[in-house]
Structure 1
Amino acid sequence: MWAMSEPIAAVVVRAAELTARGLPRQAIDLLQPALVVNPLHGEAWCRLAAAYLDAGEPDPALNAAKRALVLDGDPAWAQRLTALALSELGRHAEAVVAARECVRRKPGDWRCQVVLAEVLANSPDGRREAVEVARQAAHLAPGQARAFQVLGDAALRVRDWGTAERAYRTALRLDPEAGDVRANLDTVRRKRGGAPIPPPSAEALHAAHALVWPALSRLAALLVAGGLVLLLGGMPRPTPFLGWFSGLLVVACAAVVGLVLVKARRGVRRALFRLPRHRPKVAFTATMFGLSAVILTGWTVALLLGATTMQPLVIAWLCALIGGAVVVLAGGR
């Protein structure tokens, strides 16, 4: 028995090499006679199914994958091949069922997630889900170019240019020789040039708001309290020395804003700049604090150059007071 199993194992390895070199027909010719002698070798049937798929022959690929399903071996591999063959035959509903069964058997196997994403992307009703499944595959296998290629392909089908470009760029970083990925990346860049920027998701907006609102509260405290101290310290006539304290207040405000940008992840950072369009209270408060900070900066420079007026400080403090009132009354809602 061992003498019979050793040659078939060598044949399977040789067939895998031929398929990898782009010679699936030679792999098929090698496997078929070996399987006549060893019809119970599940891995060989899987390798034959994979070779048929690479040769563009889904019918015999499906038959070989079904043979592998009932034999000992890797059932998830046979299930993946079955799903791909069914998808190639246009039997999309059956392909999705087979791929979901593969994921159910091995939920942590990124290859099962990749196959599910591929068959969902080929199904007209599953393209949105395909992006999420492919994203899960990329999360499970951050070092596998294939996972990111499938994510890019799925995103390309739903015209999510940003996700597609990021996925293809990662795939190329992992496998610089992937010419088809490079071609798809060029396509995405051409398409994206005239495509509108998609709106941020509700989750990204919520995360951005969760970062911005506490920062606005801190700015309110700094500008209102700090402005009041400067008003009291500048009476009856401000001196250039007071400008140093005013400058420290401006730097502290800039540090609060910078900390928000540092904490924000990439997707959330983009949502930060579009948050005012979706949150009117944030837009109004940020405008008031921005005016206050700009006026305060100008007054600080003027003060250091010898000016003695208090009027800009009063205007800056009133802007901060109005913005702070909105922060207090809104309460983070």
Structure 2
Amino acid sequence: MTTYLGAMSVTGRALATALVLCGLSAAACGGGTADLARDRVGVPPAAATTARPVTGDMAAPLTGPAAGVASGSTASPTAAGKPLSGKVVVIDPGHNGQNYRHPAEINKQVDVLTKRKACDTTGTATANGYSEAAFAWDVSQRLDKILKSRGAKVVLTRQNNNGVGPCITQRAAIGNKAKANAAISIHADGAGPANHGFHVIMPKKINGPVDPVVKDSARLGIDVRDAMRRGTGLSYSTYIGKAALDYRNDLGGLNLSTVPKVLVECGNMKNPTEAAKFQQAAFRQKIALSLANGLQQYLTH
């Protein structure tokens, strides 16, 4: 996010998990130093930020290699069982499509325990105006559908891409109230165009409410990172973090979380190659499936 404004024998439940995860062996929000010059709020994107419609592939059956099922298998996540039954997942789509129209609201300062920050920001956009808010909303809808098909209860922190906020403090509170087994915030970065790759941001201990779940959040982050690499073929970030892992103590959505939570920067929207991929519905589906597999790995092991 930038801102303007093995081989083993498995049975039963383990087989269901293995079938779902094995087929992807092919090939957050707020950046670090690269973001500082871009960390402004209340400035509208260069082009429209309205959400692009979710196309038909979102509703396509989750079967075959594209769904993360072993090649040659006819089993689907549903047919193989409900591996996430009883699990609660909170999906936090970054920003909101109308944030840029309401600078007073999103500029309002809130306490994230280690500092005060803007309630929310506009996010970044590709060179041709495809907004981070629209991208995050689309991927989140796809992820929601996949997780529900696997038996999870899903809670979204916002219900559309036509509103404002909520504030980062409220986003954390929604996950806490849901008593989520895992929460994930979905973003895309806006670094220099030569930079590329994805990274996962995890919380640090701050002598605050997140401290008890820092270790679990780190495990969640690694599982999500590994699934993203396998499922999308995107490289680890070339400009931030180490092996696509970044630990921060200045993000309210993480600092205030009492449930395991990570923030995923799915790539760099200012990089022409990644920007083009993000505007393909099939690639957004691939990202959503990869995130679902990472969450499932964490929740079932």
Shorter-chain TM-score: what band?
under 0.3
The structure with the largest strand share of the pair is 2
The structure with the largest helix share of the pair is 1
The higher relative CO (CA closer than 8 Å, separation ≥ 6) is in 2
TM-score (normalizing by structure 2): 0.24
